Amino acid sequence: MVYPSFKNFNRTQGRPKVSYELKEMIELLRSELVIAAEHDNFNSDTVVELSQRLDQYIVMAQNQMLGR
């Protein structure tokens, strides 16, 4: 059986890219979430709120990549 080569395969080729500002916000929230989770438990209000905000921005980034 011959398998296709994915060496030069670019999954985002032809798709809109995620804006710099959105990437930065995702990274900022991710960092804040990691720090908060180190100090609080995963059920704390702070950790849950940061996680939900991060989820919203990730969905926004996915929609940008899909051109929505």
The reply to whether 7 falls in a domain is no
Residues 40, 31, 23, 62: is their CA dihedral positive or negative? negative
Backbone angles phi, psi at 32, to 5 degrees: -65, -40
The reply to whether 6 falls in a domain is no
3-state secondary structure of 15: coil
Rounded to whole angstroms, the Cα distance separating 42 from 51 reads: 10
Domain region containing 35: 29-65
- Residue-wise pLDDT for 10-64, tens only, equals 555 666 799 999 999 999 999 999 999 999 998 999 999 999 999 999 999 999 9
- Residue-wise pLDDT for 21-34, tens only, equals 999 999 999 999 99
The reply to whether 49 falls in a domain is yes
Rounded to whole angstroms, the Cα distance separating 68 from 66 reads: 6
The reply to whether 12 falls in a domain is no
User: Please, which pLDDT band fits residue 68 given cuts at 50, 70 and 90?
Assistant: confident
**Number of domains comprising the chain:** 1
